[in-house]
Amino acid sequence: MLTIAQQLASAGQCAAALAAGQHELTERQKLARQKAVATKIANGNGIFTSTGLKTALRQRLPRGEANAIALDEIRKLLTDITYSPNGLSAALNVLIRDGDAKRTGPRGMYRYFQ
Phi-psi region of 31 (alpha: psi -120 to 50; beta: other; left: phi over 0): alpha
- For 93-105, what is the mean pLDDT? 93
pLDDT of residue 20: 65
Question: What is 47-113's CATH topology?
Answer: Arc Repressor Mutant, subunit A (1.10.10)
Q: CB of 79 within 8 A of CB of 89? A: no
pLDDT digits (tens, 9 = 90+) for 52-73: 888 889 999 999 999 999 999 9
**Could you tell me which residue, 82 or 78, shows the higher pLDDT?**
78
Q: Where do the DSSP E strands lie in the chain? A: 69-70, 102-104, 111-113
- For 22-36, what is the mean pLDDT? 65
Using DSSP bridges, classify how beta strands 102-104 and 69-70 pair: parallel, antiparallel or unpaired: unpaired
**pLDDT over 60 (residue 114):** yes
